[in-house]
Amino acid sequence: MTTHRARAPQHPARASRSGERVVTLALVLAVPAGLAWLAAMVYTLAVWSL
C-alpha cells in the first residue's frame, strides 16, 4: 500500500496582497496620527509652562 503525503494548503496570491494592503493602509494612517499626537504634546507642554 502506498502512502499519501498531504500537500500544504495553497493560499491565493490575492489574500497575501490584501493583507499587505491592510498593513500599508494602517501604517499610512498611523504615521500622521502619531505625528499629530506628538505635535499636540509639544504644544501642550509649551503652553502649559507659560
Please tell me which residue, 43 or 8, carries the higher pLDDT value. Answer: 43
Grid cell in block for residue 8: 500544504
Mean pLDDT of 17-26: 92
Using the predicted structure, report yes or no on whether residue 8 has a pLDDT greater than 80: no
Task: Identify the pLDDT of residue 5.
Answer: 73
Instruction: Kindly tell me the burial class for residue 3, based on how many C-beta atoms sit within 10 Å of its own C-beta (0-12, 13-18, 19 or more).
Output: exposed
Q: Predicted confidence band at 4 (pLDDT cuts at 50, 70, 90)?
A: confident
Mean pLDDT of 27-31: 98
Give which of 46, 47, 27, 45 is closest to 35, Cα–Cα.
27
The reported pTM is 0.59
